[in-house]
Amino acid sequence: MKTTITIFRKVALLIVFTLLAHFSYAATTYYAYLNKNVTINAATTNLAGYKWTVVDPSNSASVITGQTTSAFTHPFTAPGEYKVRVSVQDVVDGCWSDPDFAQDITIYVLPAFTVTITGTNAYCKNVEADDRSTLTAAISYGSETAPPTVIPDLTKIEWFKPIVNDNIITSLTKVSTGETYLLTEVVVGAHYYVATAKYNLPANTLISASDDSGVVKSSAFTVTIKNTPTAPIISPVLVAN
């Protein structure tokens, strides 16, 4: 009988550990943009106090001062993975709850990135279509990159031809999508191009607002199309026979 109970306990523990591993694996990671407010609401309200704790990427836990209500609003100023948890104070006896680590909200704060364009800055208007300038967009990070599952997708980079007045972009017209863009312009003069990119986030995981839905624009890249001379009229010089 004892052997049967022992086996049952082992099987039960195995099921519990399997379920815990499954739920841990299935836990949602939310994403936030750098320096943008994140808001989390506690399900339990009308308590005496709330104590919000943030665990930073170095695994250091800090209570966020000034956040004492059921709504937590906070900007994250450094990229990396954070956890947010809450303790509450009972109205009657003033006791504080222990934090429920299973209820931690995991937030990955995305690092800032830039979009740059490289390519030939000029070509003659009469070159063949395949010899016109090809522009290439690239994404650059600082010291930390985002998880590979959410990095900007180079195939979804969008190209725009802006109108520039006094070095200020006044409007953008979309002309293509992808990592590279082969120019089609043949009008002589200066032309400007901008590439944009944004994070490829899973649905319903963004937990902060951002201007333009997180779109990052490159600086305007200038391409000058040069005029070509007109072929002269030629005539033979005749000599007497």
**Res 235: pLDDT:** 92
Residues of the chain short of pLDDT 70, as ranges, are 1-26, 167
**Res 181: pLDDT:** 95
**Res 149: pLDDT:** 92
**Res 7: pLDDT:** 40
d(CA 81, CA 78): 10
Query: CA 32 from chain center: how many Å?
Result: 9
**Res 13: pLDDT:** 32
**Res 87: pLDDT:** 92
* Domains of the chain with bracketed CATH: 27-110 (2.60.40.10), 113-226 (2.60.40.2700)
pLDDT digits (tens, 9 = 90+) for 21-73: 333 334 789 999 999 999 999 887 778 889 999 999 999 999 999 999 999 99
